[in-house]
Amino acid sequence: MNKKNLIPFFISGLILFTSCSSYLISVDSLKEQFSGIDSTKLINVNVRGPIGETYSYLANSIQSIKCKDKNGKPHELINSPSIELRVTYSAENKSKKTVYYFDRLYLSDCCMIGVQSRFISSIKKTIPLKDISKIEIQDGRKNFHYIK
């Protein structure tokens, strides 16, 4: 492969790695943003997937997410089915990570509860808020969109 053919691959890779910015949310900010939203306040949404398939599931009603970039500058993400939340927490004296879809997440008084799959909604993961050390959020750019 000559250099001329490598240029599109290089540009595609550069776009891929620079377009998925990660942001941070503190536990206190997450609690504030989820104030008044619990398992009884979830709404039914319809989502179109990458090959045109549709899904219906319960989601939180948050429209936008307040977060900060790596320099602490405020940022706001529009909620969508492709927003992912990576949670670092301690369990059994080890640091662990869990990934949730943001729209499938809600809080109780002491815990973060979420579904990690679009397809198996009966499997939920609960993490005590006191055990969370870091929350990262990004648009995973997966081709899922709400159907209005």
pLDDT at 5 over 60: no
Task: Locate the domains of the chain by residue range.
Answer: 21-146
Q: Say if residues 99 and 84 touch (Cβ distance below 8 Å).
A: yes
Burial letters for 81-113: b for 16+ Cβ neighbours within 10 Å, e otherwise?
bbbbbebebeeeeeeeebebbbbbbbbeeebbb
Check pLDDT > 90 for residue 78: yes
10 confidence band (pLDDT: 50, 70, 90): very low
Q: What is the DSSP letter of 18?
A: H
Q: How confident is the model at residue 81 (pLDDT cuts 50, 70, 90)?
A: very high
Are 61 and 37 spatial neighbours (Cβ–Cβ below 8 Å)? yes
| Six-digit token string for 127 | 């993490």
Average pLDDT of the segment spanning 64-68: 96
What is the side-by-side strand order in the sheet with 64-68? 74-78, 64-68, 22-24, 132-139, 83-91, 94-101
User: Which of 92-96, 102-106, 133-137, 141-145 shows the lowest per-residue confidence on average (mean pLDDT)?
Assistant: 141-145
What pLDDT sits at residue 1?
53
Average the pLDDT over 29-54 and give the result.
93
Query: Taking residues 71-98, what's their average pLDDT?
Result: 94
> Could you tell me which residue, 2 or 44, shows the higher pLDDT?
44
Query: What's the rounded mean pLDDT across residues 119-141?
Result: 90
What average pLDDT does range 94-105 have in this prediction? 94
Confidence at residue 142, expressed as pLDDT on a 0 to 100 scale = 85
> 20: which DSSP letter?
-
What are 13-41's pLDDT values in tens digits? 433 444 569 999 999 999 999 998 888 99
Q: Which amino acid is at 56?
A: S
pLDDT above 50: residue 97? yes
